[in-house]
Amino acid sequence: MAAERDAEGQAAARPLLTDFYQATMALGYWRAGRAQDPAEFELFFRRCPFGGAFALAAGLRDCLRFLRTFRLLDSDVRFLASMLPPDTEPAFLAHLRALDCSAVTVRALPEGSLAFPGVPLLQVSGPLLLVQLLETPLLCLVSYASLVATNAARLRLIAGPNKRLLELGLRRAQGPDGGLTASTYCYLGGFDSSSNVLAGQLRGVPVAGTLAHSFITSFSGSEVPPDPMLAPASGKGPRVDLVASVKLWLERVCAHLGLGLQDPHRGERAAFVAYALAFPQAFQGLLDTYSVWRSGLPNFLAVALALGEMGYRAVGVRLDSGDLLQQAQEIRRAFQTTAAQFQAPWLEAVPIAVSNNIDEEELARLAQEGSEVNIIGIGTSVVTCPQQPSLGCVYKLVSVGGQPRMKLTEDPEKQTLPGSKAAFRLLGSDGSLLLDLLQLAEESPPQAGQELRVWPRGAQEPCTVRPAQVEPLLRLWLQQGKLCEPLPSLAESRAFAQQSLSRLSPAHRRLQSPAMYQVALSEKLRALVDSLSAGGLP
């Protein structure tokens, strides 16, 4: 099998990113002569996260990269040998060295798909020993990716389509891998960009950022720029001394705002000038280092208007403390009056960005009608998923040697659905989602217009449904180790996720006390469950 040794693939996972019991079970399968038994596992979750009614499937691209590069190194096998019993057969260790995923087949929901409890995110089939070894890394790659994508999607639904969402969570993430995963799948879930440069390099996530308070406080105001001269944006005409121009504009701005010239902080102004000289096409101001009204706003306006006189346009301001909604409204009014005073209409529309531990409640406030906030930076509450830190995905054996397997357990919620299965989404004539149907793979697919008798999960009685449309959910991505179709780009998966979310009914999209979406079993699958529950394994 061809290996894909790219940097992104290497960043995804390594074979020993697993639980030790996978290795002990592998030795057990080997000694029982069952290493090559054909087996199938399903990866799914039992409950939608955050008290909602949906999840977004994510992590597939990382899983496929991991599988296509899967190979235990000699150092990996030596380490495992040091942990296994001393009488472990050399032939078993040789088997481990030879393992790759050339016999593995994966069916999965496309990334960005709506996912519901019990419906497989992945179906993984291949030799029993090998697909058992894959359990922990696949769970690790899918669970958090799907959780953070769903969290990002919830925040996008609250923000609405017009607010720009910037993910700022790298410094708050659970380690470097968590940071990269979060930035990647926040983008898939609906964020517009990330501050994470590595996510831009490896994953193509649009990168954005502003500047920090440290940049501003590092200036005292006594600094002299090495070259204060700036050419006009058109490239034509004499260069202008930006420091001198800003000084003149500050007098005019302070008079307009009713401030004294001594009020704006000299160091802050020097920092803004330095930033403007470095980025005249992308000047932005962080307003709350000292005082938004007495310092940050007038200093920003002086620099922005000096640049505007030369044909440049400031790209935004940021607020990081205080009542963000109220301040944004007041700043917008100041922009409007200043624009009118100095005949600078472009100033009215300068974007206002906000940040500062924004959660779902504060986001709803910032996104309300009439808000003047344009860009919202969110870090901790998106990458750490504080409402629910784990999706709780599981990876369960459903068949061995073509025979169904079922976990019965003492807890009905933890019972598994046996057998190799197919999954379909049933839609009404208006395109509305009716339910997801799980059936045995051997059954004929449901047909549009056909009346079906199905068993909603948790129900004591069946119901009938007549779908106007039927969509198969699980696509074949990897067959005998070979990629069956090119993976969509991350941007394409992001667009698909937004399209998927738009299909949810308002009752299912609602974030508080939503209506639960139905997942149902075919009569044949329900009969198999009842049979195995009553009589044990066939």
440 vs 288: CA distance, rounded Å: 60
Torsion of CA 147, 149, 155, 158, to 10 degrees: -100
CA 185 from centroid of its chain's CA atoms: 2
**Residues 181 and 190: beta-carbon distance below 8 Å:** no
pLDDT in tens, 408-426: 888 888 899 999 999 999 9
pLDDT in tens, 209-240: 989 999 999 999 999 999 999 999 999 999 99
pLDDT in tens, 39-86: 999 999 999 999 999 999 999 999 999 999 999 999 999 999 999 999
Q: Where are the alpha helices (DSSP H) in 380-444?
A: 380-383
pLDDT above 80 for 186:
yes
What pLDDT was estimated at residue 4? 41
pLDDT in tens, 279-324: 999 999 999 999 999 999 999 999 999 999 999 999 999 999 999 9
472 vs 110: CA distance, rounded Å: 11
Mean pLDDT calculated for residue range 110-121:
98
Mean pLDDT calculated for residue range 438-447:
97
**Residues 457 and 519: beta-carbon distance below 8 Å:** yes
Mean pLDDT calculated for residue range 12-27:
92
What pLDDT was estimated at residue 68? 94
Which residues lie closer than 8 Å to 370 by C-beta, 6 or more apart?
Answer: 329
How does the average pLDDT of the chain come out, rounded? 95
Mean pLDDT calculated for residue range 377-404:
97
Amino acid letter, 409 = T
